Amino acid sequence: MVNNSEKLVTMKTTLSAIALGSNLGDSRATLEGALIKLDQTSGITVKSHSSWYKTAPVGPSQPDYLNGCALLEVEQNPQELLKTLLGIEQEFGRVRKEHWGPRTLDLDLLLFDDLILDTPDLQIPHPRMTQRAFVLVPLAEIAPDWIEPVSKLAISELVQKLDCSGVSLDQVSD
């Protein structure tokens, strides 16, 4: 007979990469607050994050963005992590009005270990990450050797294929 009180239940941790962006309000404070909130969330540990980068917006006329990436160790499945990210966006005042419009906080799930997933609500790897310098430049800073599972190329190789002239290190001192 097995004594259930002696069983140790451990959930596998998975390395995940997210992108963070903001162009409304105090973007730096919002992004740093989102990292704190993520790290305080049960089942999520922020392992590292990139510098912040100033980038031109994609879509309608709007202010420049502050973008970065973070590596998370998660004890959640991808759908749970997505739900957590969307909830944090809402906590920071995210309102979805217009496609690619301005936002207080944008959190995108980029990579979840080497998983390839295509559902109506979630695609992993993020479907446009390999075309976006504002994602790959900060991701290459913290995970240059991570192999993107569709292209089978390292992040450092993918970033070399893009025009990164619109992405500059934010010079605001801490």
**pTM confidence score:** 0.89
- The pLDDT of residue 101: 63
User: Which residue in 49, 51, 103, 55 sits closest to 72, CA to CA?
Assistant: 49
Structural domain contains residue 1 = no
**Dihedral angle computed from the Cα positions of residues 173, 62, 161 and 82, in that order, rounded to the nearest 10 degrees:** 80
Structural domain contains residue 49 = yes
Structural domain contains residue 67 = yes
- What is the residue whose two structure tokens read 């993918």? 158
Structural domain contains residue 4 = no
- The pLDDT of residue 91: 87
Going residue by residue through the chain (174 aa), what tens digit of pLDDT does each one get?
444 444 445 568 999 999 999 998 999 999 999 999 999 999 999 999 999 999 988 777 778 999 999 999 999 999 999 999 999 998 887 666 655 567 889 999 999 999 999 999 999 999 999 999 999 999 999 999 999 999 999 999 999 999 999 999 998 644
Residue 112: φ, ψ to 5°: -135, 90
- The pLDDT of residue 2: 45
Catalytic residues: 94, 103, 106, 108
- The pLDDT of residue 6: 46
CATH number of the CATH domain containing 30: 3.30.70.560
User: Which residue in 75, 68, 103, 73 sits closest to 88, CA to CA?
Assistant: 103
- The pLDDT of residue 99: 56
- The pLDDT of residue 58: 76
- The pLDDT of residue 1: 43
- The pLDDT of residue 137: 97
Structural domain contains residue 163 = yes
User: Which residue in 142, 145, 149 sits closest to 157, CA to CA?
Assistant: 145
Give the count of domains, the chain.
1
Distance of CA 92 to the CA centre of its chain: 15
The domain of 33 spans 11-168
Angstrom distance (rounded) from CA 169 to CA 94: 24
Structural domain contains residue 173 = no
